[in-house]
Amino acid sequence: MTATTDGSTGASLRPLAASASDTDITIPAAAAGVPEAAARATRRATDFLLAKQDAEGWWKGDLETNVTMDAEDLLLRQFLGIQDEETTRAAALFIRGEQREDGTWATFYGGPGELSTTIEAYVALRLAGDSPEAPHMARAAEWIRSRGGIASARVFTRIWLALFGWWKWDDLPELPPELIYFPTWVPLNIYDFGCWARQTIVPLTIVSAKRPVRPAPFPLDELHTDPARPNPPRPLAPVASWDGAFQRIDKALHAYRKVAPRRLRRAAMNSAARWIIERQENDGCWGGIQPPAVYSVIALYLLGYDLEHPVMRAGLESLDRFAVWREDGARMIEACQSPVWDTCLATIALADAGVPEDHPQLVKASDWMLGEQIVRPGDWSVKRPGLPPGGWAFEFHNDNYPDIDDTAEVVLALRRVRHHDPERVEKAIGRGVRWNLGMQSKNGAWGAFDVDNTSAFPNRLPFCDFGEVIDPPSADVTAHVVEMLAVEGLAHDPRTRRGIQWLLDAQEADGSWFGRWGVNYVYGTGSVIPALTAAGLPTSHPAIRRAVRWLESVQNEDGGWGEDLRSYRYVREWSGRGASTASQTGWALMALLAAGERDSKAVERGVAWLAATQREDGSWDEPYFTGTGFPWDFSINYNLYRQVFPLTALGRYVHGEPFAKKSRAADAPAEAAPAEVKGS
């Protein structure tokens, strides 16, 4: 399979300061052909990326997900009575533009139609005035009915419908607000959930307790398989199974609702409200992501906070900042924004591409990242109360939930830059390294936001039928932390060695690694190999040789690499398989280059593919989703991935591995780390 592009080209963009062409990028002596093409592509990509930097020093690409963000934004406005004609028109224009020919909406480019997404999009378009008799609406309704109708939708979709009386609250799982009182040692306390789920569940306990219904502006009979019996009972799982046990617990909670002491329930809702308000960010959002913000606004509104209350006003204003207005007048909602992540990755890419380490734009990026370090405790400190803060978040404002992955990559980015205040940089890096080390889980690996967030119970709740709700350690995050620790001279620290051993143990039988936050095995493998070699494992190590063979075996005929999101569900058929993309080709090349394969045919073909598919303006086209929110359930197209990862790979091909000559891991014998880990 080959990637598709729209064939368009754009005018060459100029950077804010000097272009890459004005810097000291040199091409190593090599035979004519691929090396020269790589160098040209590197220069053009560098110019393009430099030109995309904001005047404040950060980079941010649009973050595309799916139309549930846009549909739920319209539903929220309908619920609060704040809808306006222009916003509704623009949102509907975007939603219509994402509909597939069969009438459905997918959760990723080229993916299959998805029931809950299609239901929410359909309802949003009805709110925008689209007639159910219109051909595009009739196709959608017919498909929805063929898949079981509203009754087969996920819980979150049916909650939105229940807000307007389109579904019965009694037929939804119960979520009592008394959950806020569970101590951390009790199963299913709120800190057993991943931070994104925790921020969503706490306000939803208030919504569940209040069970509000706003008069529906129209019926949705056309979305039921049997309008006379819209809420058919769901079969109970066997009593002896976990699912059966939790279903029966849910029935008991429904019974408890009828006898719950009113004073206790009111106190629990007020405690939940305090928890929500205490976690509102300075920009008015919650956790820097859209879903918790939406549910927090609804919960506080139900408790009597009017729309002019400062908390509510700030919350609603923050939601408007998730909107991306397009040239055609359409309005797309981002689930979150990724400036810290994009900025550290762009800095690494530019530095590895040969931009001087004291280049003004790299220094400006470094300044901005230094100003984003979080120096106050957040929810992570519940499990690590004595650990000093020092991490970085993913978004502009998310001080409660710094990200272990971002922190590792920011440290790696800061090490690429020669800053005018080295003491300030060293202090910031020291805080970041200390915080990352303190967030290591007991198995030796790292999750994204929390420590040992591995309870099996949350995933069993009837309420949690969509996406990941816990944050266990993953290979990609662990790899980035290990790479950062190696660069900081800690390759032989016992904590780093435990991380290395975990990575070796986590390797799949075929030689790849699972990718939790990127698609998928290509991302995991592209993250782990550079980490292992930075930590001192020789390129001849069996784990690295197995990974190289796997990457070579899944390279596409056109020379690139790609992996479809279906690999999360259909591993055998889709692992490492999909149309070639710029970002995934970059990941594969980064792994192969780290494994010492610069002169291999696979690397040559991959580099040639990147050079051949680059646009005239230095960019790449990439409609495919290569980022992961929840494996399979929630996918992301990071619009900057198509720039930073190809440039990083090309830069390392042209200039060599970034720390090959001056790695801090070289302070100790290279063989020391591998000698003390198993897995060979």
Catalytically annotated residues: 405
CA 367, chain centre distance (Å): 25
In the numeric block, which tokens belong to residue 133?
A: 């008799």
- Residue 504: which H helix or E strand, with range? helix 494-506
φ and ψ at residue 673, rounded to 5 degrees:
-65, -50
- Sequence-distant (6+) residues with CB within 8 A of 327 are none
The label of the residue with tokens 């066997």 reads 238
Question: Directed axis angle between helix 582-594 and helix 601-613, to 10°?
Answer: 150
Q: How many helices (H) and strands (E) does the chain have?
A: 24, 5
Cα 360 from Cα 303, distance rounded (Å): 50
Tally Cβ neighbours within 10 Å of residue 125: 24
Cα 439 from Cα 394, distance rounded (Å): 16
For residue 323, list its beta bridge partners: 333
Cα 181 from Cα 200, distance rounded (Å): 16
Please report the DSSP string for 154-173 in residue order.
-HHHHHHHHTTTSS-GGGS-
- What are the start-end ranges of the E strands in 505-657? 627-630, 634-638
Nearest alpha-carbon partner for 314 in 278, 281, 284: 284
The label of the residue with tokens 């390797």 reads 507
φ and ψ at residue 391, rounded to 5 degrees:
-90, 180
Q: What angle do CA 570, 572, 575 make, to 5 degrees?
A: 80
For residue 637, list its beta bridge partners: 64
The label of the residue with tokens 């400062």 reads 310
Cα 139 from Cα 113, distance rounded (Å): 12
Cα 344 from Cα 394, distance rounded (Å): 10
- Residue 621: which H helix or E strand, with range? none
In the numeric block, which tokens belong to residue 377?
A: 């405790």
Residue-wise burial string across 256-271, b where 16 or more C-beta atoms lie within 10 A, e elsewhere: ebeebeeeeeeebbee
Contact 152, 115 (CB under 8 A): yes
For residue 629, list its beta bridge partners: none
Contact 673, 491 (CB under 8 A): yes
Contact 327, 316 (CB under 8 A): no
- Residue 323: which H helix or E strand, with range? strand 323-325
In the numeric block, which tokens belong to residue 289?
A: 């992501």
| HEC assignment per residue over 531-544 | HHHHCCCCCCCHHH
Cα 297 from Cα 633, distance rounded (Å): 24
φ and ψ at residue 280, rounded to 5 degrees:
-70, 135
- Give the length of the chain: 680
| HEC assignment per residue over 389-409 | CCCECCCCCCCCCCEHHHHHH
- Residue 324: which H helix or E strand, with range? strand 323-325
